[in-house]
Amino acid sequence: MKNLIYKYRIDNHEELNKHLLELFLGIPIKLGSHSMITKGDSHSHESSSMIPKNWSQKEHWDIKKWPHIEYKKLFLDAAKNKFKEHAKHHLPDLNYKFNIMNMWYHQYTEYEIDGISWHNHWPGSQWSAVYFVEVPVNKFTEFLNPETQETINVSAQDGDMVIFPSWMLHRAPKLETGNKTIIAWNMDINKNE
């Protein structure tokens, strides 16, 4: 089961993360609703399905209406080679295309949340993923291995991207100290005829 959780380290992540955090500073506290986060644009928000061209089947990118979505382009441009690495691993010798259905960011502050409880991602995607912009030392995401009924702790640090099957249950433990900022998304990697 462990080999279904893929971790990639993004090049030049220090510079990328600095840009992202500056950009997030200028965004209102919450866009959309979400039960358990301090700050973010929820995946239920209208802008969540707005994804840069060539990354989505939808032509839905309206940055004039929602300027905060600039962070998506910034991140995807920086992480593109790692997305390709993941796609080539799963569709060897085939042409492929990405379809990101939605993308959102969350910022958590210590003591303010109880953590995010067990969940998987739906409706309708092959893969889910998270990019860690800033994360306290020794912080990890927990996945449930149904084979053994044990949790798999995946440690991550600033600059790591973790991709996993959307059906896999996972949770974020309570933040005991420091701040945590992530970008998350759901996607398909399809054969391109």
Partner 1 sequence: MNNLIYKYRIDNHEELNKTLLDFFDTLPNKIGHQEYNLGITKFDGHNHISSPLLPKEWQYQDPLNVPGEDPTRLNITDQYREHLELFPHMKYKEIFLNAAKNKFEEHAEFHIQPEITGLDYAFNIMHMWFHQMTESDYISWDNHQWCQWSAVYFIEVPDQKYITEFLNPEDCMVMQPEAEAGDMLIFPSWMLHRAPKMLTNQRKSIIAWNMDICYVFPKEQIYILKQTHPENWKS
Q: How many CB atoms lie within 10 A of CB 173?
A: 14
| Spatial separation of the C-alpha atoms in residues 82 and 70, rounded to whole Å | 20
Contact map string, positions 22 to 61, toward partner 1, x by CB under 8 A? -----------xxxx-------x-----------------
- Yes or no: say if 4 and 165 are a contact pair by the CB < 8 Å rule: yes
**Which one of the spans 20-28, 72-80, 123-131, 132-140 is the region binding partner 1 (CB under 8 A)?**
123-131
Which CA distances in Å does 119 have to 43, 57, 59, 167, 171? 14, 26, 29, 9, 7
Cβ 31 to partner 1, closest distance in Å?
Answer: 13
CB of 125 to partner 1, least distance (A): 7
Q: Which two tokens stand for residue 175?
A: 């933040």
Closest residue by Cα to residue 26 from 71, 77, 73, 78: 71
| Pair 31, 68: CB distance under 8 Å | yes
* Nearer of residues 19 and 171 to partner 1, judged by Cβ: 171
Residue 104: C-alpha distances to residues 86, 121, 167, 176 (Å): 20, 13, 19, 23
Q: Which is nearer to partner 1, 77 or 111 (CB)?
A: 111
Q: Which of the ranges 17-25, 62-70, 71-79, 144-152 carries the binding residues for partner 1, by CB under 8 A?
A: 144-152
Should residue 2 be labelled a site residue for partner 1 when binding is judged by CB under 8 A? no
* Residue 167 within binding range of partner 1, rule CB under 8 A: yes
Q: Which of 95, 109, 120, 153 binds partner 1 (CB under 8 A)?
A: 120
Task: Tell me which residues touch partner 1 (CB under 8 A).
Answer: 1, 3-4, 33-36, 44, 89-92, 94, 99, 101, 117-120, 122-127, 144, 146-147, 149, 165-169, 188-191, 193
